[in-house]
Amino acid sequence: MARWLLKTEPSVYSFGQLLKDKQTVWDGVANNLALIHIRKMAKGDEAFIYHTDDERACVGIAKVTSAPYADPKENDPKLAVVDVKSVRALKRAISLSELKQNAKLEGFDLFRISRLSVVPVSDAQWDAILAME
């Protein structure tokens, strides 16, 4: 099982909406590296949901429920999507500034490649973020 961080603009699709919907197609990814990460996802993988814009915080956990497939809304087979379902909200939102202060997260791609919308998360990083709840 792999772990990921998925970024979303809460004004477009928030984790609260995912909780309400229970599951969704994770689409809208166009960056080549982010698409490579989407194509590496597998059913059962876990992901932090991270709100961008003014919030800039990890807010919830989701689970990947499908293998990657071509985005059915686009006429471009290179654009991949996965299905995700909500697992739970974090006990509290963990801000970007808090994450950056955690020495266990040094070198995290969230900081290194800040524009990337799909970021791999190592087991150690996953545990460090959960410990911050």
Residue 114: pLDDT band with limits 50, 70, 90: confident
Beta strands in the chain (DSSP E): 3-8, 23-26, 46-51, 57-64, 69-70, 80-95, 118-121
CATH number at residue 51: 3.10.590.10
**In the numeric block, which tokens belong to residue 117?**
């919308």
Task: Give the other-Cβ count within 10 Å of 79's Cβ.
Answer: 17
Quick: pLDDT tens for 36-70.
999 999 999 999 999 999 999 999 999 999 999 99
The CA distance from 113 to 99, in Å, is 15
Residue 75: pLDDT band with limits 50, 70, 90: confident
Q: How many domains does the chain have?
A: 1
- Domain of residue 49 covers 3-131
Model pTM score: 0.95
